[in-house]
Amino acid sequence: MEILGAVWNYLIPFLVIFTVVVFVHEMGHYLIARRCGVRVEVFSIGIGTEIFARTDRHGTRWRIGAVPVGGYVKMRGEMQPLPDASGPARQAIAGTEEKDDDSFETKTVMQRALIVAGGPLANFVLAIVLLAGMFATLGQPYTPADVGEVLPDSAAERAGFQPGDLITGIDGTRIERFEEVVQVVQLHPATALEFRLIRDGRQITLTAVPDIVDRRDRFGNPMRIGRLGISRGGGDTKLVRHDPFTAVWRATGHTFSLVGSIFSSIGQIIDGRRTTEELGGPIRIAKISGDVWQTGFLGVLTFVVLLSINLGLVNLLPIPMLDGGHLVFYAVEALRGRPLGAKAQEFGLRLGLGMVLALMVFATWNDLVQLRVIDFLVGLAT
C-alpha cells in the first residue's frame, strides 16, 4: 500500500508536471523547425519502446514512449537522438546524412541556432504566460517596501536601518515591493548589498551584509539564505490585478528576475557561499511535485513556472549534448566560416554526454542522501 501511495502521491504528479514542461520545450524546437522548412520526422514524449503513435499529413510521427521521462524531436538530417536534459541531442555530424532541401543540415547557421534555441525559449515563454495569467486573474502580491521593525543584533541594525525607512533600490535595481526585498536578501547571504532608502523625505544609502541562515523549506529541502532582520508592521499586503499588457510586462520582468536569481545561486555554490546540498535531481523534483500537488492548482502552476525556467536554463549551459553546447558549435562555425569536423563534434558530444550523466548521478545521489534514503538502506543492512 505504501508503494501505491508513493506512486499516486509523487510519481504521477511528477510525470504530469514534467511531461508538460518537456512537451512545451520540444514544441519550441518543432515549431521553429517547421517555420524554417525543416521536416520533423518524429515528435516523441517519453523514450524507449513505442506504445502509441500516429503520423500526420506532414510526415511527422507523434509518439509516446514506454519510459515516460523526457522527449525529443527528430528532424531530417540529424543523427540518431541521444538523451540530454530534456531529450536528445539535435546535432547532425557533418557529412553523415544525406542533405535534402528540408534537411536540418541544409539550413543556415542562424536557422539552425534558432531551431536549437527554440526549446529553451519555449520554456521561458511558458513561464511568462503562466505568470501573466496569474497576475491578470488572481493578482500579483504587493506589499510596500517599508521597514516596520528592525530586529536587535541583526544585519539591518548593524547597517543603520530604522523603522519607517522606505527601500527603493538594492544594488542599483529598483525596488517596489517588500517581496522583492525578501527575494534579493535571501539569495545573497554574506554578500554586501547597497540599499537605497528614503528616510524623512531624504534619500540615503546604506550597505548591509545579510546574515547566513541554514534552514529547510516547507518541503524539507535544505537551503542557505540571507537574513537582513527587518519586518513590516503593517498588514496592507494585497493582490493587485493587472491588465493583460501590464501582466505580460510584469511577468516578463519577474521571469528575468528568477533567471538572475538562479544564476546567482549557481555562482554562490561555485564560490562556496552555498552548499551543493541544494542541488536536486529527479527524485527531489518528484518529491516537490507531489508536495505542491497537495497544495492545489496555484501551487502546481507556480512550480511549473520554476521548473520550466530551470529546464530552459539547464539546456542553455554551454555543454555539448545540451542546446547551449550546440549553440557554441554554431558560433564557432559562424566565426570559422565552416563547421567543426565530424571527429571534433563527435568528441564534444561524447564529452558532453559524460558531463550530463555525471551531473545527473551527483544530483541523484544528493537526493538520496538528503531524503535519507541512504540512511534507511544502511539501517536495513545493519
Of residues 115 and 85, the one with the higher pLDDT is 115
AA identity, residue 235? G
- Quickly state the pLDDT bin for 219 (edges 50, 70, 90): low
Three cell numbers at 162?
Answer: 530604522
Q: Is the dihedral of CA 131, 133, 139, 144 positive or negative?
A: positive
Same domain? For 126 and 43 the reply is yes
CA angle 21–25–26, rounded 5-degree value:
120
342 located within any domain: yes
Same domain? For 118 and 53 the reply is yes
Residue 320 is predicted with a pLDDT of 82
Instruction: Work out the number of other CB atoms within 10 angstroms of the CB of residue 52.
Output: 11
Of residues 164 and 280, the one with the higher pLDDT is 164
Pair 116, 323: CB distance under 8 Å: yes
Q: Given 195, 213, 240, which residue is the final one in a domain?
A: 240
Q: Report, as residue numbers or ranges, the catalytic residues.
A: 26
Whether the per-residue pLDDT at 4 is higher than 80: the answer is no
- CA-based nearest residue to 324, from 333, 315, 332: 315
Residue 103 structural domain: 2-134+308-381
In the sheet that holds 173-174, the strands lie side by side as 173-174, 166-170, 193-199, 202-208
Number of domains present in the structure of the chain: 2
295 located within any domain: no
287 located within any domain: no
Q: Given 240, 262, 281, which residue is the final one in a domain?
A: 240
Give the list of residues 6+ apart from residue 3 with CB closer than 8 angstroms, or none: none
Whether the per-residue pLDDT at 62 is higher than 50: the answer is yes
DSSP state of 11: I
Same domain? For 126 and 156 the reply is no
Mean pLDDT of 37-59: 92
What is 125-162 written as a DSSP string? HHHHHHHHHHHHHT-EEE-B-B--EE-TTSHHHHHT--
**How high does pLDDT run on average in the chain?**
84
Q: Given 191, 224, 240, which residue is the final one in a domain?
A: 240
